[in-house]
Structure 1
Amino acid sequence: MNPVTIDAIDDPRIGDFRVVSDPALMRERGLFVAEGSLAVERLLASRFRTRALLVTESALARLKPAIDASVESSLAGAPSDAAAPSDAAAPSVVSAPAPDLYVTGSAELRRITGFRFHRGCLALGERPPDGSTPGGLPPPRAGAPVVTLDAVADPDNVGAIFRNAAAFGAAGVLLSPRCADPLYRKAIRTSMATTLSLPFQVAATDDWPGPLERLRDDRARLIALTPAPGAADLGSVTRSSSGGPLVLIAGNEGDGVSQAVLERCDATVRIPLDPAVDSLNVATAVAIVLQRFHEATGHQDTLPG
């Protein structure tokens, strides 16, 4: 892949990069943007196709191994994400063209994009028509739950939950139609780009909460997080856990998990809190619950020394 030098910010070849700060236009064009070396590397190694890169010379030097690996994988007709779960449905993959590679200066990059968060490199990914990870969402399995978000509309919370889910071995994330877009640049950044590596599914508006019913039909246990007094204590639930497949469900901080979803759950759990505090940030709550189930299923990492 030969880099093309961009000297003029109105060069038509980089027209898509001039609208990266407009989420509506990006969706209309079927694109999303990854910013910074970590996010760009994870995009290149993911099942999402990279359309183009816009980088400085110094960023190009840092990214060269990841770019070379992505090009080699594309030519071979296989996704470069070697960490995909072995029991996930394998997508049909054909040889894809290598992404366009454009090189420009730091000042030009800021003028092209209109923001300063790029850290010398941006990449455009192609958004699948259904907004979900190519290849689909793997089912939950022992020690690897599916985290489900019900109308969590804040992109910072969505990004943080993805990061927590990846940290504690979740199989993937299921999002209701009213959730924030996990491919929005703010969610990607907050997640440390785990939205590009952890499989997820965005449910269709006319099918929610159908995916939860199908997971339950496949013998997964559905557990909703709620501060409601009638919910079971988290400790008692994790101690009695059979280690089978779980779906852990969190709602938004205003309304919590919707009644339609609660009616389909096998249990509700709460995190014991000081009486002076009525609830936790949803990303924090998900992290605590994931860690407790992670530990209960035998992942008891110890500190060195």
Structure 2
Amino acid sequence: MSLEPSADLSRLLVIEDPADQRVEPYLDIRERDLKGRGGRFVIEGEVVLRTALSLGRFAIESILIAENRVEPLADLLASVPAAVPVHIAARAVLDRIAGFPMHRGILAIGRRGAPVSAAGFLASMPADALVVVLSAIANHDNIGGIFRNAAAFGADGVLVDAASCDPLYRKAIRVSAGAALVTPFVQEGDIAALCDLLLAEGFEVLATSPSGREPLGDVAPRGRQAVLFGAEGPGLPRAILDRLRTVRIAMKGGFDSLNVATTSGIVLHHLAR
């Protein structure tokens, strides 16, 4: 393998064999996306890796990049803590490690850290907190889009029920433009239990629905508020809608449906502190 001159290549670890144990966590990425990685997750792409390194919220275990990305990423590599191994590989080797063509040529392994309970998470919120709550959001693009909106409009945190997909799934992080690494979140339990916790912590809980009883414009941002979003199609469970204040986005007659990520952007813009 040949590399162009660089300010400092001494710490880069060259990988020439896809079976090298130093890059074992990167093997067969798509298959492991489905099986899970325990306490690890995969970071993909320059924007997301820069976000992860600048925030330091999640520990970075290692980095793996294509050799042709070394020079363009010189400033990023200079910011990587000395204790984090940085591996480089030829494109063909990188693709064999990952199990598919890695067009971005940038991967990293992050560690989730110790879990936090939803109760403790909410108890630590400020008096004027805005919390996003997700119920059965199974589409990774939607999860990523919602987290991106939550970060953009200053939500204090996101509660995700166990029926939703993982916000730290590789595609969800990428679609969120790294926002899933920025906005604090907890994933646990069912939506009814999460609503109980929110109400016990003094939150006004709003449920979004095309059939909501009040237009969004009538809702004033105030105090502790939480806003619930359900899966496209079924939406939030009827039992949840019956017990909470429900809101809708006014739309042109004959049309009452928006993508849930788009809906979250409109609602959070209105409720932003």
Aligned partners of 2:161 and 2:194 also within 8 Å:
no
Deviation at residue 66 of structure 1 after TM alignment: 4.3
TM-aligned CA distance change 1:276 to 1:115, over 3 Å: farther
Q: Is the deviation greater in 161-170 or in 105-114? A: 105-114
Give the superposed CA RMSD: 2.6
Paired position in structure 2 for 1:234: 216
Q: Give unmatched runs, 5+ long, in structure 1.
A: 73-97, 298-305
Written as runs of structure 1 = structure 2, the 5 A alignment for 1:13-92 is 13-22=22-31, 23-25=33-35, 27-44=36-53, 45-71=55-81
Relative to structure 1, the CA distance from residue 246 to residue 261 in structure 2 (aligned partners, 3 Å threshold; closer, same or farther) is same
- 1:252-263 paired onto structure 2 within 5 Å: 252-263=231-242
Shift of 1:263: 4.7
Q: List gaps (5 residues or longer) in structure 2.
A: 1-9
Q: Which residue of 1 aligns with 2:19?
A: 10
What number of residue pairs does the alignment pair up?
Answer: 260
Segments ≥4 residues shifted beyond 6 Å: none
TM-score normalised over the length of structure 2: 0.85
Aligned to 1:115: 100
Q: TM-score, normalised by structure 1?
A: 0.76
Asked if structure 2 preserves the Cα contact closer than 8 Å seen for 1:21 and 1:114, the reply is yes
Structure 1 position 104, deviation (Å): 1.0
Distance 1:132 1:36, change over 3 A: farther
Residue 139 (1) aligns with residue 125 (2)? yes
CA 1:103–1:210 in structure 2 vs 1: closer, same or farther (change >3 Å)?
A: same
CA-to-aligned-CA distance 1:199-256 (integer Å, 9 cap, x gap): 1110235xx533332222222210110111x510111223xx4x21210111111211
Question: Is 1:277 aligned with 2:252?
Answer: no
Q: Is the 8 A contact 2:62 2:108 kept in 1?
A: yes
1:32-88 CA distance string (max 9 Å, x none): 11111111122223321211110124434454544554527xxxxxxxxxxxxxxxx
Contact 2:205 2:226 in 1 (8 A): yes
Deviations, residues 250-300 of structure 1 (Å, cap 9, x unaligned): 1111211123433553x1100011222121111111111111122xx5xxx
SS in 1 for 2:27: helix
Contact 1:35 1:118 (8 Å CA) reproduced: no
